[in-house]
Amino acid sequence: MARPRTRVHAPLGTILMAIGCVVVILVVAAVFYWIPRSSSAASVPGGGPPSSGSWVEIQSYELTTNYETTNTSDTSYLAPPDCSSSVCPIYVVPGENTTIIMTLEDNDSISHQVLSVTFNAPFSVVATTPTLPVTLAPNVPTVFDVEVQVPSEPAAYIASGTITTK
């Protein structure tokens, strides 16, 4: 006579523990998936770096204007952009790029072109948006994104440079 086959069942506690482990793994994976990822090139405006470490700190930037043409008045037609307290200081991983957003306004009665935006060493301009040259209409603010590579040496800097117009 053949013996009936019996099926061995895992104890209920083992099944619940396995399900619990799977749930914990899924929750941990979801948390890591949805935590914002920080880019090493991202800048952290105001208030200091998010954690201790070695950063390039851009305390401010000072851009002078090189006028290749005269204007219709006796005054400079382009006010240099400033790094307001809501933007500066900027903290960047040494040697990486950051984007500096600046607004330029032509205060003359005629249009002028921005030919270039440069930062002096140890900074260097990687790109601008919009791509230069750009014509500024009189009394209309134009926003520029200037992608800048920062020095590889961590320290506090005041970035200086030149805006060339005509």
CATH number at residue 65: 2.60.40
Strand order of the β-sheet with 155-165 is: 44-45, 90-92, 56-67, 155-165, 112-119, 134-136
Question: What residue numbers bound the domain in which 151 lies?
Answer: 44-165
Between the alpha carbon of residue 166 and those of residues 65, 114, 133, the distances in Å are 10, 7, 10
Q: Is residue 74 domain-resident?
A: yes
Beta-carbon count within 10 A of 153 CB: 11
Q: How many CA atoms lie within 13 A of 52 on its CB side?
A: 0
Count of domains forming the chain: 1
Tell me if 93 sits within 8 A of 41, measured CB to CB: yes
Q: Is residue 9 domain-resident?
A: no
Model pTM score: 0.64
Tell me what pLDDT residue 96 has.
Answer: 95
- Phi and psi at 136, nearest 5°, equal -95, 125
Tell me what pLDDT residue 131 has.
Answer: 94
Per-residue model confidence as pLDDT tens for the chain (166 residues) = 566 666 666 677 777 676 766 666 655 555 444 444 333 344 444 445 554 458 999 998 888 888 777 666 556 777 778 787 778 899 999 999 999 998 888 888 888 899 999 999 999 999 999 999 999 998 898 999 999 999 999 999 999 999 988 8
Closest CA to 162 of 75, 90, 80: 80
Tell me what pLDDT residue 34 has.
Answer: 47
Tell me what pLDDT residue 126 has.
Answer: 96
Distance CA 110, CA 79 (A): 15
Give the three-state DSSP class for 15: helix
Q: Is residue 100 domain-resident?
A: yes
Tell me if 164 sits within 8 A of 116, measured CB to CB: yes
* Beta-bridge partner residues of 148: 98, 125
